[in-house]
Amino acid sequence: MTFRNTLTAGLGLAAVLAWAPAAWAIDGYAHPWQMGLQPSNSPSMVGIHSLHNYLLVVITAIVLFVLGLLVYVMTKFNARANPVPSRTTHNTTVEVLWTVIPIIILVSIAVPSFKLLYLQRDIPAADMTIKVIGNPSWNWTYEYPDLGLNEDGSAKVSFTATLDDKARDIKTAEEANIPYLLKTDNPVVVPVDKTVKLIVTSDPDGIIHAWTIPQFGMKIDAIPGRLNQDWFHAEREGVFFGQCSELCGKDHAFMPIEVHVVSQADYDIWAKTAQTAGLEEAYKYLASAEAADGKLAQK
């Protein structure tokens, strides 16, 4: 196989791998040997995909250009082809080009980067708010203040989500058909096509954590004594997983995040049931509704 054919095959494989997420990643979490980013389910992640694909083109062009220069220099200016070396020390045109071209490249990268950063950090008007608290026992507490407050100001609907016991062992997780180290006992529930604002903090006596869902294209630190904000707008229903993304101690790997994105009607019933009959009954309804609709891939 010639060098040209090898290069063409390599570029073809790179293109396939770049678009592989759309074909291979169909669930709310990454799979072994999966290539590329997870599918997007929010405007932020759509922007991340676009920037990633654009940068792939830019860096491929740069690598090919530099490779071409190296081949040109090796063939034209080796001792056999050019026994009498040039004594040129300055070339104004070349010096202008190698200054201006990198500036243009950096500006072409900076503009979409800043647009994406602004999209992520400019929090739009929210349809609902959830408070997220990282605990020193390596789990998450969630509060729904929009669903009512108690007399002491605490949220009527709140719960702590910890790693499901069956998900702690890889063999048990496979037998139960749940994702290893990702399934929680009490998942977060949000309606589809709504802007969800997150207020994120950590227990005052705790440590720094980070709340993230890769397919939502967001990650925010949970810091003791500080309130951070982030948002997502899930565009399709399903079950989506993440993990604490800050090295936070011995059980860092056992601090998963699970979000169920459901229809507005199912969310309203879940919320009403949680307010009146309790969370256990609310989750029973959610499981039955998702199983009936075929939306829940991991039971």
Residue ranges covered by each domain of the chain? 3-23+35-82+90-121, 128-293
Name the pTM for this structure.
0.84
Per run of 10 residues, the mean pLDDT along the chain (length 299 residues) is: 43 42 57 88 96 96 96 90 81 92 96 96 96 97 96 94 95 93 96 98 95 96 97 96 95 96 96 96 94 59
Q: Using CA atoms, how far apart are residues 25 and 31, in angstroms rounded to an integer? A: 7
CATH of domain 3-23+35-82+90-121: 1.10.287.90
CATH of domain 128-293: 2.60.40.420
Q: Give the model's pLDDT for residue 12.
A: 44
Strands 218-222 and 128-134: unpaired
Q: Give the model's pLDDT for residue 3.
A: 41
Q: Give the model's pLDDT for residue 294.
A: 64
Q: Give the model's pLDDT for residue 87.
A: 79
